[in-house]
Chain A
Amino acid sequence: MDRLALDVAHLFAGGLVLVSFMLLYQDRMTGLVNTFALHALVVSLSVAWQAHIQHAPHLYITAAIALVVKAIVIPFALHRIIVRLGIHRTIETVVGIGQTMLAGIGLVALSIMVMLPIAAKAGTLAQQDLAFALSVLLLGLLMMISRRNAVSQVIGFMSIENGLILAATGAKGMPLVVEISVAFSILIALIVIGVFLFRIRERFDTVDIHALHEYRGEQP
């Protein structure tokens, strides 16, 4: 039974990596937001499972916050922002999707290589869980640097935070206070970014960050 518990936790961690790859694969905004909702759902399920096997009830609250805020409220808000911005069609990526996914594989390999000597004493599954958490972080960063659209960069940023939650809960949890403060700071950051996005859109009629280069007088 213990073995099964660890296997399920491992499966959730791997599933999160898979959903991060799905985020990289999307080329439409609506699909991207829905996949992000799935990302947050997997994180909340993973945290709930950790709460179950570690017998740490405060993690249930973390899971609930992740589910409500990130899997329901934020995607709903993003859908409305997207429709109002009128960008619910294609995203432009800086490099092709194939190359982005190839780079993603390289990042996963890199995370495995980094984590192996560090977590050597903890056993294979724990090593891989940490490696997966680092991969989710790196994949989120990859998403931020390979997209031109500001909204998709925000989503990449939030997926990085999901990776951090995975790492933290996997290693026997963090105190609730830290979790609440982190969650609220993310929410506030999102509100601020949303406000700025609207201002940018009003001013320049686009949220393509390359256009901002031109307005600054720099070469794109």
Chain B
Amino acid sequence: MALDALLWCIGALLATSVAAIPAARHRAGTPVVYGAALCLCVAALGIAVTSLLAGGSLQGALTLPIGLPWLGAHFRLDALAAFFLAVVNLGGATASLFGMGYGRHEETPGRVLPFFPAFLAGMNLVVLADDAFTFLLTWEFMSLSSWALVMAHHRRTGNAAAGYLYLVMASFGTLALLLAFGLLAGPAGGYAFEAIRSAPPAAGVAAVVLALALIGAGSKAGLVPLHVWLPLAHPAAPSHVSALMSGVMTKVAVYGFVRIVFDLLGAPTWWAGALVALLGSVTAVMGVLHALMEHDLKRLLAYHTVENIGIIFIGLGLALAFEANEMRAAAALALTAALFHVFNHSVFKSLLFFGAGAVLTATGERDMEQLGGLIHRMPLTAFAFLVGSAAISALPPFNGFVSEWLTFQAILASPALPQWLLKFLVPAIGALLALSAALAAACFVKAFGVTFLGRPRSEAARNAAETDRWSLATMFVLAALCLIAGILPGYFIDALAPVTQALAGAHLPRQGELDWLTIVPVAQSRSSYNGLLLFLIIALAAGLGAEAIHRWASGALRRSAPWDCGFPDSSPATQYTAGSFSQPIRRVFGAVVFRAREEVRMPPPGDLRAAQMHVQLRDVLWDTFYVPIAGIVSYVADRLNKVQFLSIRVYLTLVFGALVALLMVLAVWQ
């Protein structure tokens, strides 16, 4: 029943997308389309959340007679699907709400409006799909609709190249998934997930399927080394679509991975867990280091998505390793940490992208080096962005800290793993995770500090104005959600219990009824955390301090020029820029990771021209993998190009040769 309602919502989304083609020409078309998408997403969100909390009673399966004639289209709503549907529709609802205000500034609504509801519909369908064909079809539909959105502003420099790279990587990912499903279906050809689940493959085949799923889902999620399209494509789309792509579509990719590896593959092996966790940790560190070097706000956020996907995959890898060793409670802990981080990341990454979109509309600039001092011109946006930055840096009492804390608890439960390689690998993974968390905080001090604090560095920043009410409302809703998920994590963990029960065979103890809403993942004696209490005590301490000081000491304040060590009236150009902020970190980590080179060109004495500093960073993975492959493909294509220019007689000979060869094969095979 819930499934029917969801399918109706999705159908309505598709109808909206078709209706948007004529509606885009009218001025009122934009809010109508986004409003419709908002209502449908909220409805779907409600259904998904009720289904998740109510358990099995609202779940079910359905087969529609569309698609392949002997297969039909299977859809299923179970605990895992309900959770990811909640994530997708929350992102969709907030993006639609943001779009109602942001969409007014869109120059070509006809290129954005029809594809937006289609994108939302595609993501919902992927999560609901219950057979391989439907899954792949809806996956491709999701990719194509997002590609159309990426190409919406195709005349801007770099967007066309970004769209091309995105299309190539998406096709490559779908190819990998196609092969994976082919192997899973086996010679019997049973494509329905039911059939696949009941016939788990042999060990060698399972290994290949895991690798293919890692490549396919990982390329969409942004695992290293398949992440290169993400920082180009995500920023090219309009801001609310960037939020959807970074915050939600990457989670749909995670869903694909979880569905294939945890659900369809049967019992995992320990080295699979080691591989996934190792890839996750490398992704996390590489992502955050690249983010630190960026000064384009949206590219920084896109690289940061890569880092958080790495953290999610660390949790998933640990869960696989625990499950392979029959340590179900620890597997549930790791899986809960990963899935909670899925939710948290979609919330605060959407918030941050909305903030970046607001800044872009207000100033027309994405480059942090041209911004500054926006906190005075856009105070509410700045506040929401600050909450998002604090949440993503894993600071208590926000939600990012809770999922990182749970991941650390999972790592601390790892000495019980018997395999030696895991014993050496997991502490290294823990160290890399800690390093990426610390670097993420540095990255967001830079992002918030250079963009919003300080003094304006350009005319655009000086004349910025606050954004409209819809955008602000969206950002504040998400900021409130960050705080709530951080203070009351017990309820979220309980909501995830049916999911981990289905996947790992165990779930964390019920958190909702503990004293003062503490969360205790394993045992009271081992570790506990109480976000609400911490938040209240800090607020109390700060409040008491402020009250005491203002009452008994001085409360006076006056404004004056800054001290600046006695330098009078320095220009805003003397402030720290984004590049200078990250220079120490670039110097320490850059030589190895980016082959960073700094070059200072000083004019000779007496010459009044300015000195110039050039910083050159290269993505090592791009140079090692992609450039050679592109070179090879280009070379082969050049060679094959000769086939275009043959005469008619040669073409006829080719057709004749192919026919003869096929007949010979038929003769031999009989």
Task: Check if B592 sits within 8 Å of A113, measured CB to CB.
Answer: no
**Chain A residues within 8 Å of B592, by CB:** 99
A96, A98, A99, A113: the one contacting B420 at CB < 8 Å is: A113
Task: Check if B420 sits within 8 Å of A109, measured CB to CB.
Answer: no
B669 close to chain A: CB less than 8 A? no
**Number of interface residues, chain B, beta carbon within 8 A:** 5
Task: Check if A116 sits within 8 Å of B424, measured CB to CB.
Answer: no
Q: A113 vs B592: C-alpha distance in the bound complex, in angstroms?
A: 27
Min CB distance, A162 to chain B, in Å?
Answer: 26
Min CB distance, A108 to chain B, in Å?
Answer: 11
A contact residues, range:
under 10
Min CB distance, A172 to chain B, in Å?
Answer: 28
**Chain B residues within 8 Å of A96, by CB:** 591
Closest B residue, CB atoms, query A110: B424
- A68-108 contacts to B (CB < 8 Å): 96, 98-99
Min CB distance, A119 to chain B, in Å?
Answer: 15
**Chain B residues within 8 Å of A113, by CB:** 420, 424
Q: A96 vs B591: C-alpha distance in the bound complex, in angstroms?
A: 10
Min CB distance, B282 to chain A, in Å?
Answer: 15
**Chain B residues within 8 Å of A99, by CB:** 592
Closest B residue, CB atoms, query A116: B420
Q: A72 vs B498: C-alpha distance in the bound complex, in angstroms?
A: 69
User: Would you give the 0/1 interface string for A96-140, flagging 1 where the beta carbon is closer than 8 Å to chain B?
Assistant: 101100000000010001001000000000000000000000000
Q: A98 vs B424: C-alpha distance in the bound complex, in angstroms?
A: 20
Q: A98 vs B420: C-alpha distance in the bound complex, in angstroms?
A: 26
B424, B588, B591: the one contacting A109 at CB < 8 Å is: B424
Closest B residue, CB atoms, query A99: B592
Main secondary structure of the interface of A (DSSP, over half): helix
**Chain A residues within 8 Å of B588, by CB:** 98
Q: A109 vs B420: C-alpha distance in the bound complex, in angstroms?
A: 11
Q: A113 vs B424: C-alpha distance in the bound complex, in angstroms?
A: 9
Q: A109 vs B424: C-alpha distance in the bound complex, in angstroms?
A: 7
Closest B residue, CB atoms, query A117: B420
Q: A96 vs B593: C-alpha distance in the bound complex, in angstroms?
A: 14
**Chain A residues within 8 Å of B424, by CB:** 109, 113
Closest B residue, CB atoms, query A95: B592
User: Would you give the 0/1 interface string for B291-311, flagging 1 where the beta carbon is closer than 8 Å to chain A?
Assistant: 000000000000000000000
**Chain B residues within 8 Å of A116, by CB:** 420
Min CB distance, A106 to chain B, in Å?
Answer: 10
**Chain B residues within 8 Å of A98, by CB:** 588
- B402-426 contacts to A (CB < 8 Å): 420, 424
Q: A99 vs B588: C-alpha distance in the bound complex, in angstroms?
A: 11
Q: A3 vs B592: C-alpha distance in the bound complex, in angstroms?
A: 45
Q: A113 vs B420: C-alpha distance in the bound complex, in angstroms?
A: 8
Q: A212 vs B592: C-alpha distance in the bound complex, in angstroms?
A: 28
Q: A132 vs B614: C-alpha distance in the bound complex, in angstroms?
A: 46
Closest A residue, CB atoms, query B425: A109
Closest B residue, CB atoms, query A112: B424
Min CB distance, B373 to chain A, in Å?
Answer: 37
User: Would you give the 0/1 interface string for B486-514, flagging 1 where the beta carbon is closer than 8 Å to chain A?
Assistant: 00000000000000000000000000000
Closest B residue, CB atoms, query A105: B428
Closest A residue, CB atoms, query B589: A98
Q: A99 vs B593: C-alpha distance in the bound complex, in angstroms?
A: 12
Min CB distance, B309 to chain A, in Å?
Answer: 25
Min CB distance, A99 to chain B, in Å?
Answer: 7
Q: A151 vs B449: C-alpha distance in the bound complex, in angstroms?
A: 49
Q: A98 vs B591: C-alpha distance in the bound complex, in angstroms?
A: 12
Q: A109 vs B591: C-alpha distance in the bound complex, in angstroms?
A: 25
Q: A116 vs B420: C-alpha distance in the bound complex, in angstroms?
A: 10
Q: A98 vs B588: C-alpha distance in the bound complex, in angstroms?
A: 9
Q: A150 vs B471: C-alpha distance in the bound complex, in angstroms?
A: 66
Min CB distance, A192 to chain B, in Å?
Answer: 39
Q: A53 vs B592: C-alpha distance in the bound complex, in angstroms?
A: 48
Q: A96 vs B424: C-alpha distance in the bound complex, in angstroms?
A: 24
**Chain B residues within 8 Å of A109, by CB:** 424
Min CB distance, A54 to chain B, in Å?
Answer: 31
**Chain A residues within 8 Å of B591, by CB:** 96
Q: A96 vs B590: C-alpha distance in the bound complex, in angstroms?
A: 13
Q: A109 vs B427: C-alpha distance in the bound complex, in angstroms?
A: 11
Q: A116 vs B588: C-alpha distance in the bound complex, in angstroms?
A: 35
Min CB distance, B418 to chain A, in Å?
Answer: 13
**Chain A residues within 8 Å of B420, by CB:** 113, 116
Q: A213 vs B309: C-alpha distance in the bound complex, in angstroms?
A: 48
Min CB distance, B425 to chain A, in Å?
Answer: 10
Q: A99 vs B589: C-alpha distance in the bound complex, in angstroms?
A: 11
Min CB distance, B269 to chain A, in Å?
Answer: 21
Q: A98 vs B587: C-alpha distance in the bound complex, in angstroms?
A: 13
Min CB distance, A117 to chain B, in Å?
Answer: 9
- A147-173 contacts to B (CB < 8 Å): none
Min CB distance, B53 to chain A, in Å?
Answer: 46
Min CB distance, A121 to chain B, in Å?
Answer: 18
Closest A residue, CB atoms, query B588: A98
- B536-591 contacts to A (CB < 8 Å): 588, 591
Closest B residue, CB atoms, query A96: B591
Min CB distance, B434 to chain A, in Å?
Answer: 15
Min CB distance, A92 to chain B, in Å?
Answer: 16
Q: A99 vs B592: C-alpha distance in the bound complex, in angstroms?
A: 9
Min CB distance, B427 to chain A, in Å?
Answer: 9
Q: A98 vs B592: C-alpha distance in the bound complex, in angstroms?
A: 11
Q: A169 vs B420: C-alpha distance in the bound complex, in angstroms?
A: 29
Closest A residue, CB atoms, query B591: A96
Closest A residue, CB atoms, query B421: A113
Q: A109 vs B428: C-alpha distance in the bound complex, in angstroms?
A: 11
Min CB distance, A146 to chain B, in Å?
Answer: 15
Q: A109 vs B588: C-alpha distance in the bound complex, in angstroms?
A: 24
Closest A residue, CB atoms, query B427: A109
Closest B residue, CB atoms, query A109: B424
Min CB distance, A144 to chain B, in Å?
Answer: 23
Min CB distance, B234 to chain A, in Å?
Answer: 32
Closest B residue, CB atoms, query A98: B588
Min CB distance, B134 to chain A, in Å?
Answer: 47
Min CB distance, B281 to chain A, in Å?
Answer: 15
Min CB distance, A116 to chain B, in Å?
Answer: 7
Min CB distance, B415 to chain A, in Å?
Answer: 14
Min CB distance, A6 to chain B, in Å?
Answer: 22
Min CB distance, B592 to chain A, in Å?
Answer: 7
Min CB distance, B419 to chain A, in Å?
Answer: 12
Q: A96 vs B589: C-alpha distance in the bound complex, in angstroms?
A: 11
Q: A74 vs B214: C-alpha distance in the bound complex, in angstroms?
A: 57
Q: A113 vs B419: C-alpha distance in the bound complex, in angstroms?
A: 12
Q: A67 vs B424: C-alpha distance in the bound complex, in angstroms?
A: 36
Min CB distance, B397 to chain A, in Å?
Answer: 35
Q: A99 vs B591: C-alpha distance in the bound complex, in angstroms?
A: 11
Min CB distance, B279 to chain A, in Å?
Answer: 19
Min CB distance, A40 to chain B, in Å?
Answer: 31
Q: A96 vs B587: C-alpha distance in the bound complex, in angstroms?
A: 12
Q: A86 vs B437: C-alpha distance in the bound complex, in angstroms?
A: 45
Q: A96 vs B588: C-alpha distance in the bound complex, in angstroms?
A: 10
Min CB distance, B261 to chain A, in Å?
Answer: 28
Q: A143 vs B115: C-alpha distance in the bound complex, in angstroms?
A: 61
Closest A residue, CB atoms, query B420: A113
5 A-B pairs within 8 Å (CB atoms) are namely A96-B591, A99-B592, A109-B424, A113-B420, A116-B420
Give me the 7 closest cross-chain CB pairs, A-B, nearest first: A109-B424, A113-B420, A113-B424, A99-B592, A116-B420, A96-B591, A98-B588
